[in-house]
Amino acid sequence: MSKYEIQKNPFIVPTNDGKLIEEYFGKASKNVGDFSVAHMVAPPGWSEPFQTPMFDEITFIINGRKQFEIDNEKIILGKGESICVRKDTRVKYSNPFKVEVEYISFCVPAFTIDRLKRE
């Protein structure tokens, strides 16, 4: 077994909301470890329903802005900023802005649909 693995072709997670999700390492792509790393691009006006994930999620904004709704508080992050939303936290992710947002997401343990708990 090799001590490293290079990923050149991420798994494109199917979506129906215009969001691009490219998982480089995780359960959907390589089934390596219990973490996931994905590059994402969300179009203007995109949003997801509230969810209470069973994983910590770190988001790092590359370009644009992303809105997080946590405990009735709206948090807006921009380029170069990051946040860690702890597991079992009710959160809503969105891009209510006029330009797309590009970001990297790290989930520990790995993102899986059964760990998402969407409303």
User: How confident is the model over 42-78, as pLDDT tens digits?
Assistant: 999 999 999 999 999 999 999 999 999 998 899 999 9
pLDDT at res. 76 = 98
In the chain, DSSP assigns E strands to 11-12, 20-25, 36-42, 46-47, 56-63, 65-70, 73-78, 82-85, 91-95, 101-108
Residue 118 clears pLDDT 80, i.e. is over it: yes
Evaluate if residue 32 carries a pLDDT over 80: no
Q: Could you give the CA distance from residue 65 to residue 103 in angstroms, rounded to a whole number?
A: 9
The structural domains of the chain, ordered by start, are: 11-115 (2.60.120.10)
Fill in the DSSP letter of residue 118: B
**pLDDT at position 1:** 59
